[in-house]
Structure 1
Amino acid sequence: MSRFLPEPSLPYTRQNKTAVLLLNLGTPEAPTAEAVKPYLREFLSDTRVVELPKLLWQPILHGLVLTLRPKKSAHAYQKVWLNEGSPLAVYTERQAALLADRLPNLIVRYAMTYGQPSVANVLAELKNEGVAQLLVIPLYPQYAASSSGAALDKVFEQILKQRNQMSVRTVARFYDDERYITAMKNHIEAFWSQNGRGQRLMLSFHGIPQKNHDEGDPYPDECYRTAELLAEALSLKENDYIVSFQSQFGKAKWIKPSTQVLFDELPGRGVAELDVFCPGFVSDCLETMEELAIEGREQFYAAGGRQFRYIPCLNTQPDWIETLASLAIRHLQGWCEPT
């Protein structure tokens, strides 16, 4: 048996197309424990995500985590599930469709690092369509080994299996991209114009273990730079906003300050009206809609807060789609004319 995947039957002269592949984390196919369990198994088995020795982690994963967490996670997903499906899947699919409309000369697809549509299946489809040049954009503005790195690993794993390998370019980060900053600025200002503005703007990013940063992961530095640029664009003073990190998992030390700890502490510091936005998430998902907009709101009010405004992610905002288009056009130079 060949170690390489079968090549398409297309003539070599027709294997000349260019594609853009958007990558996101992934999601279970239904808000049930039965659907969540295999998704969590795949996600938490990735050594990019949990950097523990397999002999130590796998018994914990299968003996404890996958026994208790699927039911709890399924309950959380049920709170935010849309008629069309998981919010992350719905918004990612819409972003890909809108980007395809914006770049009609290209093939645009999306895939998930974990779950469906898988990177393996999407790359096989692109191969059969004659794609020879591939631009990969993980939908994570700030690079982390556990997000962008894990997503790109999936692509490279498939490229290693191709006999006739595609040419590949990647956009590993865009945390300081001018259009991305402007898109967030316009979105937040429009929200404030319609809904009012609190005393403080919290910019909540997903967290990573402190050990990862100590060993060279640039993620927190890129988060702080994004926050600095966004605050500057919004004309915010140092005391007008705060950067925090959410979604801590396990007992390891994670980067601080913790979003959840701040929900408890801020009312006692005199911040009774809080606006929350997530610059590291370009699509609303479980971590934004349930962890912050529902659980975070309840926690803040229980601590004495009076007003909690969650500002949705960029999702399908036109400025965000233009940001994606500009990233693609810039990184496709020399390959094709995208528009």
Structure 2
Amino acid sequence: MARDGVLLVNLGTPAAPTAPAVRRYLAEFLSDPRVVELPRWLWLPLLHGVILRVRPARSARKYALIWTPEGSPLALHTACQTERLRAALPGTQVEYAMRYGEPGIAPALAKFSGCGNLGVLPLYPQYSRSTTESVRDCLPAGIRMVESFHDHPAYIAALAANVRRHWDARGRGAMLVMSFHGLPRRAVERGDPYEKQCRSTASLLASALELRASEWKVAFQSRFGAAEWLQPYTQATLVVLARGGLRRVDVMCPGFVSDCLETLEEIGIEARRSFYAAGGREFHLLNCLNEAPEWIDALVRIARDRPRDQA
């Protein structure tokens, strides 16, 4: 009997913390019309003529700060999550792919020959056309995909357990900032539900942790370009909190299920520096879900709850 299959898909990572490797990765990532919606005739000359000449070296230096002897943190965590999910779902073939970089989605799909029911699970808890639909663009017709799990009880429970674990080990701050990846404001104005889903996740998590309204905030990071993105911006929020007298802040990134450049460098180094420069004294960055047992349990639940009828 043909067995079931689950393909986990994460965003991707350069193969190495070097300018050439980052250039290859950014060229693929920033060429996706789902990511940058400008007309191709305008965007591609700017991308190849300016951005890919300047940005790779700068980004490579940032990647070098968070790279491990074994490789990219995001790649390592995604591979480990795949192994743990495979062990938790005997009889189900579990593989992983990256939307940009390696391993690609097409070669990963080729491994599922003979699977009776293949489901794709993008590791993006909150749906956005720029991420989730970009994965769908790579899938053959008939393969079902989980669009979102932003409010799945097991995901919220895993986030709450992760926060409590940190508080048990390091104490609890007066403010928990939940930092999500940003999105251009115009995307939301055109109907993208991403912001609504981020705020839903945050509200559900705050309820699970029994937080008062004064004890948590939502903010958005990783702005790219000059256009307005979702606000408030994370670093600006942290500066305002520090200048207002807050001495300790706890920061988590619920939309990232694996630690990566955006969590370890952008928040763990840059945002931390901004908070301290504004007068803050204690900055705690919580780990992403990574291989937390509650997260693996959540993946099992989400995979089992996925749509199973073929389109």
With structure 2 as the length reference, what TM-score do the two structures score?
0.97
- Report Cα offsets for 1:265-302 as digits up to 9, x if no partner: 21112222110001101000000000001111111101
- Number of aligned pairs? 310
Q: 1: CA distance between counterparts of 2:10 and 2:137?
A: 13
User: Residues 107 and 300 (structure 1 numbering): CA distance in 2 closer, same or farther, change over 3 Å?
Assistant: same
Q: 1: CA distance between counterparts of 2:50 and 2:246?
A: 38
Q: Does 1:45 align with 2:31?
A: yes
Structure 2 residue corresponding to 1:328, chosen from 278, 289, 303: 303
The equivalent of 2:54 in structure 1 is 68
Task: Give 1:133 deviation, angstroms.
Answer: 2.3
The equivalent of 1:233 in structure 2 is 208
- Report Cα offsets for 1:72-111 as digits up to 9, x if no partner: 1100000001121101100000000000000011100000
Is the contact between residue 26 and residue 114 of structure 1 (CA under 8 Å) also seen in structure 2? yes
The equivalent of 2:124 in structure 1 is 140
Q: 2: CA distance between counterparts of 1:179 and 1:150?
A: 25
Is the contact between residue 138 and residue 152 of structure 1 (CA under 8 Å) also seen in structure 2? no
The equivalent of 2:71 in structure 1 is 85
Is the contact between residue 3 and residue 91 of structure 2 (CA under 8 Å) also seen in structure 1? no
Secondary structure of the 2:117 match is: strand
Structure 1 residue corresponding to 2:152, chosen from 153, 169, 177: 177
Secondary structure of the 1:95 match is: helix
Is the contact between residue 23 and residue 113 of structure 1 (CA under 8 Å) also seen in structure 2? yes
Task: Give 1:262 deviation, angstroms.
Answer: 1.3
Secondary structure of the 1:321 match is: helix
The equivalent of 2:111 in structure 1 is 125
Structure 1 segments of 4 or more deviating over 6 A?
Answer: none
Bigger Cα Rg: 1
Q: 2: CA distance between counterparts of 1:18 and 1:232?
A: 35
With structure 1 as the length reference, what TM-score do the two structures score?
0.89
Q: 2: CA distance between counterparts of 1:131 and 1:260?
A: 46
Q: 2: CA distance between counterparts of 1:30 and 1:186?
A: 33
Task: Give 1:196 deviation, angstroms.
Answer: 1.1
Q: Does 1:153 align with 2:128?
A: no
Q: Does 1:112 align with 2:110?
A: no
What root-mean-square deviation, in Å, do the aligned CA atoms of Structure 1 and Structure 2 show?
1.4
Task: Give 1:198 deviation, angstroms.
Answer: 1.4
The equivalent of 2:169 in structure 1 is 194
Is the contact between residue 250 and residue 284 of structure 2 (CA under 8 Å) also seen in structure 1? yes
- Report Cα offsets for 1:211-260 as digits up to 9, x if no partner: 00000000000000000000000010111000000000001110100002
Letter in 2 for 1:201: L
Q: Does 1:299 align with 2:274?
A: yes
- Report Cα offsets for 1:147-197 as digits up to 9, x if no partner: 111122122xxx15xxxxxx4221110001111111111110110011011
Letter in 2 for 1:256: Q
Is the contact between residue 119 and residue 308 of structure 2 (CA under 8 Å) also seen in structure 1? no
Letter in 2 for 1:70: P
Q: 2: CA distance between counterparts of 1:291 and 1:241?
A: 20
Is the contact between residue 145 and residue 307 of structure 2 (CA under 8 Å) also seen in structure 1? no
Structure 1 residue corresponding to 2:223, chosen from 225, 248, 255: 248
Unaligned regions of 5+ residues in structure 1, if any? 1-13, 161-166
